[in-house]
Amino acid sequence: MGPNAPSTDPLLTHDGPGFGKVRGMVFPRVVLVGHGVISELADTCRQFDFPTRGAVITGQRTAELAGNRAAELLNSGGFQVSTILAGEATEAEVERVAHEARSAGARFLIGAGGGSKIDVTKVVAARLRIPFVSLPTSAAHDGISSPRASLHGAASTSSIEAAVPIGVIADSEVIVQAPFRLLASGCADVISNLTATLDWKLAVRLRNEEFSSTAATLSEYAAQEIMDHASAIKPGLEESVWIAIRPILVAGISMSVAGSSRPCSGSEHLFSHALDRIAETPGLHGEQCGVGAIMMMYLHGGDWRQIKSALLAIGAPTTARELGVSYDETVRALAMAHSIRPDRYTILGDNGLTREAAERLARVTGVIE
């Protein structure tokens, strides 16, 4: 199937009434991926039998890429929608946007933007108990289709449960216009699933944690798809978006299957969250998870060089220098990573790494020199 065709993969579509559900799990009903699929937005919303009034949540920059077009398509297609400009994904911003959406009488939402705008939308949708459609303008991580959102606070970032999009419309013509660094970050985020699932299986063996083989298989499949096609993911190529977006979406769906972020978040994510707290200028989330996966795969005794090679082929960072973080920040983040989520057992164990062990790990994998 070429980049001009919408996806009809059974993993990504569900035609039953309401949200797609399997044993209480919620999935997007429709996922459209391809060139120009934003034009199908109004028809898709009619297919969902949405009420007349809605709102498009977007940002200053992403409004020009997709938000304004989305509002125009919906208003000319028989809906009455307002546009709400959102800022950074914080609790205060969620409250403000929710108030505006409620005041506008919105009965459905469109999240048109990058990760932060979609995160705001999915939290607002959950709190207002109304459906939303995800319309990404970039693919920097797997949050496009996941049931999780990241809200930034004064001192840390928290991952919380949120609404699953009833539909995802990923227009490759739009997404290819975003900086390639964002797509590379999304690919790195998905590659890091390989260590996340290893951590999950370790927690099953040592802590008798609940496990979903289906969710783990989806997560690993998504990572392997990116790994297998890493050399074909290049800047400025719409075909690269087509190759990358499907695994990114599948990774998000794996979290819906699991009912948690376990399939896509392990020790490599703990390292990333620790860097967010420590580093003066952290890298992108997916970039940090990719570098974290190199080191955590080493701890698992797996093929960490294969992960590093795939990241290099895509053009994602593989060193602290490329992330823009210092030697000391990297080592400190490794040493404190285990404490970020004490409830989430990983290869880092309960006590984590000593500074000496962290330095050795980062050195032997080439993350620091």
Classify residue 80 as left (phi > 0), alpha (psi -120 to 50) or beta: beta
Report DSSP letters for 208-272, one per residue.
-----HHHHHHHHHHHHHHHHTGGG--TT-HHHHHHHHHHHHHHHHHHHHHTSSGGG-SHHHHHH
pLDDT value for 157: 62
> Distance between CA 160 and CA 127 in Å, rounded?
12
> Distance between CA 347 and CA 326 in Å, rounded?
24
pLDDT value for 123: 95
Per residue in 58-78, pLDDT (tens digit) is 999 999 999 999 999 999 999
pLDDT value for 142: 81
pLDDT value for 3: 42
pLDDT value for 22: 39
pLDDT value for 187: 97
pLDDT value for 26: 67
Q: Which among 281, 293, 259 is positioned nearest to 329, based on CA atoms?
A: 281
Report the chain's C-alpha Rg in angstroms.
Answer: 20
Farthest-apart Cα atoms in the chain, separation: 63
Q: Which portions of the chain are predicted below pLDDT 50?
A: 1-24, 154
pLDDT value for 21: 40
pLDDT value for 58: 98
Structural domains of the chain in order of their starting residue, each with its CATH number: 20-178 (3.40.50.1970), 181-364 (1.20.1090.10)
pLDDT value for 30: 93
> Distance between CA 30 and CA 73 in Å, rounded?
18
Per residue in 222-249, pLDDT (tens digit) is 999 999 999 999 999 999 999 999 999 9
pLDDT value for 262: 96
